[in-house]
A and B are shown apart, each in its own frame.
Chain A
Amino acid sequence: MLHAALSLPGAPAVMGVVETAHAIAAGAVRASDVAAAALARIDAFEGDLHAFLHVDRTGALAAAERVDADRRAGLPLGPLAGVPVHIKDMIAVAGMPLTAGSKMLAGWTPPLDATVVARLRAAGAVLIGKTNQDEFAMGSSNENSAFGPSRNPWDRTRVAGGSSGGAAAATAAGLGCGGLGTDTGGSVRQPAALCGVVGFKPTWGRVSRAGVVAFASSLDQVGTLTRSVADAAALYTAIAGSDPLDATSDPRPVADCAADLTEAKDLRGVRLGVPIEYLDAADGLDAGVRQRIEEALATLAQRGADVRRVSLPHVRFGIAAYYLVCTAEASANLQRYDGVRFGHRAALAPGATLDSLYATSRGEGFGPEVKRRILLGTFALSAGFHDAYYRKACQVRRLVHDDFARALRDCDALVGPTSPVCAWPLGAHAHDPLAMYLMDIFTVSANLAGLPALSVPAAPHPASALPVGLQFVGRAFDEASLLRVAHAFEAARGPCAWPAPAARSE
């Protein structure tokens, strides 16, 4: 059923990461056929989904052919050999243009691979292209992409979520086996929930940020978008671990989470906390979403989990704290886009001043949401307001962190909805930034606390049949347990439906 809905010529493209790697290693399928099939599916879907900002046909086919040649020569293959993956446009791939979804960087090609990309290449993965995103990862709907939004494969009149909307849409539609996104306040998990795929954000410090365009450094983390938890574990295992190029990356060793997923899928003895603020007392939580989450909790309990209520009293301040911290950091991180060394420079009359070069280039290059956040962050750090806004937000951040630390002393993981609603129609919140910010209510706190978190599809919405995401939040640096719990839920839930390729344009 899973593959039937997707059967186009070259169906191997819709196999998962693990399945594809095994098939190629076993010689059941050639890497170049897998790559060609992935590219064919991109051709079939892309005009409609706009999931990609750049597709590297030549590079993908060449890399796949190298895998086939290595296999023929009997050389050892990497754990992801021949697996086609996509990379969010926040992440540098040497030789591929990088825009971060912004006109500001149009035409720029980074000279070096990000560490996570180098690690995927070393594992044998085939890089098929760069996925669409909100400009500088600022957005929850992909509508802030300077190059037009990605669309939701389940309903193309709806948003794919954000900011890694392109990656989520591509993954749901089987354009590659999965890919990398970035998650600053839910940017991997929320689009994963809206597109019905698995979005996994590891602990802050677990995955190198070197070569990843910075939005808010203390919150940003690279994550994975895949169609299964096992696939998430496989990509995560390839990219995780300390990096000499990122001084905030953690030296702790990484468990092989891919090998670690038990077949038993038993949750006996696992204590799962349901934050009342995320369910019972959550404002704005859609009734159908609530129903599916409660059913999921029942499923978890049936599998033996001890599901209990917990309270995180400060998470209701999470959005306010998050939007001050992330915009303050962003206001500084985005100062390098000044039209001097790379990127957009305004055409100015001779004799124009340096300041007018800066202001005009930045005024032209940045979109409205980026400007809004830079202005907010600049204000939060400015003289006289720094303590009342930025510093206060950092204090509240500590209280949020401490709430999670307390809850995770008695629970192995926390569980609740990823997004309060399903994918909404394109344009629905486009003129209400605050309403858009509030969509991140359940995801930002894991970033504030630096904890690993994962969204896995629950049953579809009872009315709209759109995907609903169930979120797990785990203990710092214990990604292995988090993946095990999510894997067990996934098995209990049973297979998901996947969007049909022609669901739109008939």
Chain B
Amino acid sequence: MAWQGVIGLEVHAQLRTRSKIFCACPTTFGAAPNAHTCPVCLGHPGALPVLNERAVRLAVVAGLALDCAIATRSRFDRKNYFYPDLPKGYQITQVTAPLCTGGHLDVATAAGVVRGRIHHIHLEEDAGKSIHDASPAGTLVDLNRAGTPLIEIVGEPDLRSADDAVAWLRELRAILRHTGVCDGNMEEGSLRCDANVSVHRPNAPFGTRCEIKNLNSFRAVRDAIAHEIERQQAVIDAGGVVLQQTRLWDAERSRTLPMRSKEEAHDYRYFPEPDLLPLHVAPELVAELRAALPELPAARRARWSAAWGVPAAAAAVLCDEPVRADAFERALGAGPAADLAAAFALFVTGQVQAAHQRSARTDADVDAALPVLLDVCARWVQGRLTNKMLADVLQSAFGGDAALGAELERALAQVGAVVTDAGALAPTVDAVLAEHADQAARYRAGHTPVLGFFVGQVMRRLGGRGDAQAVQRLLQQRLDQ
């Protein structure tokens, strides 16, 4: 029987707060080294942590969105180790009594619905940043990120393939974004993923697992897990034993490598954080946050499908980012435009997405232009824009300097209307037939495929603005005369 992968993800998500988890320093990304630091996040003698209320609320919201139980009493612990980006010599985290426990996240995959259970979600502080290659003097330490609020979402080993893992993580990100918990930006590190991977034969016990770190894109998650499953299979097939290890994903060479293991096993000497009393979360607050939960992406996709027939794949792409999904709904409004919804969804995730990727425009610019894009889509669907005209409009507008909406309107005006009127087409048709009298003769002699040649010639002269059916009709009329 074939080997099967067993995967559980551990996801660190940066909470969308203004200030850090235990001090008032801003959480803004990209400041000069140590610009956003204070005695608390520098670990100065005498500095004490004071927990950010919004961090607690966001963590509770994440727990509710993932069907966790919310502990009315939880506790913080210290995780002790020495590293330059950990200023106090310990990380404040939750080990024995986390804020959220249990829970699950279901994702639709090609093979059906996969349920990935969640063991728990806890609050913790992020470490700072060590920069290893910037200075001959040594490693540089920037503590701007130290104390950034995180939740760690610890998934059970319920996933069975790299694709399942990616689908689960993508759905998790969509939920965290929809609920305003995390911006989900993997490049800036606001969403980070480690994967616990083992292999087994179905119905046999799980094998020894390896933890893979440093997975900072969906591609890295997929590739690293797929490679790790293959690696473990190969080890076992060769008669070897998989060692319990922490491995690092090397994206450039597409392989996982064991991290250097120190001679001493990690002994984090966890104990309850004496500077923080137990965290009490009132049932009333939980009820309030539960009532205020927004529609989650799965429900939204289901609604779009039922009401508008939006295809699942397009809905998934649009609902990845709630700002996009909101803008999409706003553009459609409640009126008759909803008929167009399915086509518009395919249009936005197809042609618009492609044009966007080739341009330097921001998501926000595209979102703001969705009402105009809906107009473009409507014209195209109704045949008022040809494929060629559509491509021209998108290319011209995305390449322009002004706001996308304004550029689209300009491009629409420039491209003009499709020419369908026989009277307007006649001069061009006649001119082409006159120039190619020999080809006309061939058509009349029975070589009907020549018609296509004429259509192409006419369209070229009209700059793609001619209605293809009208041109063809007129050509046939003239040739059959």
Contact = CB atoms under 8 A, between A and B. Distances in A.
Nearest to B43: A336
Contacts of B87: 336, 340-341
Interface stretch (B77-85, B292-300, B349-357, B440-448): B77-85
A246 interface: yes
Contacts of A381: 80, 269-271
The range of chain A's interface size is 35 or more
B170 to A, nearest CB: 37
Interface stretch (B12-20, B44-52, B238-246, B328-336): B44-52
A386 B269 CA distance: 8
B39 A340 contact: no
A281 B275 CA distance: 36
Interface string A151-169: 0000000000000000000
Given A247-B275, A248-B277, A354-B84, A213 B46 contact: yes
Given A245-B50, A338-B82, A100 B45 contact: yes
A39 interface: no
A248 B275 contact: yes
A105 B45 contact: yes
A336 B45 contact: yes
Contact of B269 (A100, A114, A212, A378): A378
B276 A248 contact: yes
| Chain A, interface SS category | loop
Interface in B85-131: 87-90
B79 to A, nearest CB: 10
Interface in A317-339: 328-329, 331-332, 334-336, 338
B480 interface: no
Contacts of A92: 45-46
B174 interface: no
Contacts of B277: 247-248
Contacts, number: 101
Given A247-B275, A328-B271, A341 B43 contact: yes
Contacts of A246: 48, 50
B205 interface: no
A223 to B, nearest CB: 16
A211 B275 contact: no
B42 interface: yes
A213 B45 contact: yes
A336 B88 contact: yes
Given A209-B48, A245-B50, A383-B267, A218 B84 contact: no
Contact of A332 (B44, B48, B49, B269): B269
B48 A338 contact: no
A332 B90 contact: yes
A45 interface: no
Contacts of A214: 45-46, 275
A335 B48 contact: no
Contacts of A338: 82, 84, 89
A210 B47 contact: yes
A324 to B, nearest CB: 11
A431 to B, nearest CB: 29
A117 B50 CA distance: 20
A233 interface: no
A38 B192 CA distance: 59
B46 A247 contact: no
B409 to A, nearest CB: 53
B46 A212 contact: yes
A331 B265 CA distance: 19
A358 B51 CA distance: 29
Contacts of A244: 50
Interface string A70-112: 0000000000000000000001100000101000010000111
B423 interface: no
Interface in A191-249: 209-214, 216-218, 244-248
B248 interface: no
Closest 6 CB pairs of A and B: A335-B89, A381-B269, A217-B274, A218-B274, A336-B43, A211-B46
16 contacts: A92-B46, A114-B46, A209-B48, A247-B48, A247-B275, A247-B277, A331-B269, A332-B271, A335-B88, A336-B45, A338-B84, A340-B141, A342-B45, A358-B82, A382-B267, A386-B269
Given A328-B271, A358-B82, 19 more contacts: A111-B44, A211-B46, A244-B50, A245-B50, A247-B50, A248-B275, A329-B274, A331-B80, A334-B89, A336-B45, A340-B141, A341-B43, A341-B44, A341-B87, A378-B269, A381-B80, A381-B271, A383-B269, A386-B270
